[in-house]
Amino acid sequence: MNIGITCYPTYGGSGVVATELGLALAERGHEVHFVTYDRPFRLEHFHERVYFHAVEMAKYPLFEFDMYTLALTSKLVEVTQYEKLDILHMHYAIPHAVSAYLARQILGAENIRTVTTLHGTDSTLVGLEPSFLPLMRFALANSDGITAVSRFLREKTISTYQLDCDIAMIPNFIDTEVYAPRESCKYREMFAPNNEKIIAHTSNFRPVKRVPDVIRTFAKVLDEVPAKLLLIGDGPDRSECENLCRELSICEHVRFLGKQDALVDILAASDLFMLPSQSESFGLSALEAMACGLPVISTSIGGIPEVNQHAETGYIAEIGDIDRMARYAVELFTNEAKYTAFSEAARRRAVDMFDIKKIVPLYESFYERLLST
């Protein structure tokens, strides 16, 4: 198949999954064309059967605002015509699904199929804005196929937008050969020179991620167990989090690592992962940690419980319950047998349920069904 993929080419989970999906499809013999305003950050090397088409924005004094939706539409029309695409796969609905609909109308092509994959906030937040809600409902209703990354997101989207079309649940995935435990990690001694326990957290440091809860929980753990905290990522809440560390007098035990390409090495050097979000449609960062053998302590919201199994791969607490999360962390750090069992179960669940080799064929089958109708 010739497949066009559009995503936001940033560090967000939707862009990561879309890029990894495209690369995996190319490895399986398909031709993949990424159409977006910048090269996806995980597409830095040459890959056979993978092509990138930049969306060019016209500059004209009359246009006060950029018209990305229309520019993307024109590029999708061009690429579809000249590369003879079979599928246009849009990751994150707004505005990508709208552009795909417009492109298909312009082309009048009966043999092109459009797929929209919902990743979370496109359905649960952005699409609910009054200015977007009718457009979101229309774009979804006019997609040939819709997928969601969790059962939670699938059910919430259907009820919120009152859709009578089907949404397939195809979960996020990772390459468990890349995200894997490592017996010796070069960063371990650097982060924990006295063999302290290491807690890790990865996010975009936005309020919904509740990074201050990670820090407050860690401060309580530190009262019981020698430990270090690694905060990976960057965003608007970072300064607040740095100030909180100063207020709690724990700066010497906390490392702000910013955005990192060496994520696997950092996770492999850690012992425990924390995800106290107040909204999460899947929890890709938790899955990455689990694949590296880290038990996860998370909240019970959204799609996280579909990934992290309470009292098996980690623990689940209510939003904001830092006392309970701290107790769970101390329990795992002081009970070696339980920690080992949780670590092995986390790795096993990642491999058995979410490995890229199991999930990518589900997308292939989904495309084939659409093309056969």
- Is CATH 3.40.50.2300 correct for 2-173+355-372? no
Tokens found for residue 230: 């690694």
Q: Which CATH number fits domain 188-354: 1.20.210.10, 3.90.1170.20, 3.40.50.2000, 3.10.20.70?
A: 3.40.50.2000
Highest mean pLDDT among 7-16, 149-158, 181-190, 322-331: 322-331
pLDDT at 370: 94
What mean pLDDT do residues 113-119 have?
A: 95
**Whether pLDDT at 295 is above 60:** yes
Domain with CATH 3.40.50.2000 in the chain: 2-173+355-372, 188-354
Q: What is the 3-state secondary structure (H, E, C) of 201-244?
A: EECCCCHHHCHHHHHHHHHHHHCCCCEEEEEECCCCCHHHHHHH
R_g (Cα) of the chain, nearest Å: 22
**Of 17, 35, 25, nearest to 118 (Cα)?**
17
| Cα 6 from Cα 72, distance rounded (Å) | 9
| Cα 130 from Cα 285, distance rounded (Å) | 30
Confidence of residue 182 (pLDDT cuts 50, 70, 90): confident
Tens of pLDDT, residues 66-76: 789 999 999 99
Do residues 278 and 244 make contact, with C-beta atoms less than 8 angstroms apart? Answer: no
**Of 325, 316, 317, 314, nearest to 349 (Cα)?**
314
Do residues 83 and 2 make contact, with C-beta atoms less than 8 angstroms apart? Answer: yes
pTM, two decimal places: 0.91
DSSP 283: -
Average per-residue pLDDT in the chain?
Answer: 92
pLDDT at 41: 76
Tens of pLDDT, residues 310-326: 999 999 999 999 999 99
Confidence of residue 206 (pLDDT cuts 50, 70, 90): very high
23's CB contacts (< 8 A; 6+ apart) are: 32, 42, 43, 47, 50
pLDDT at 303: 94
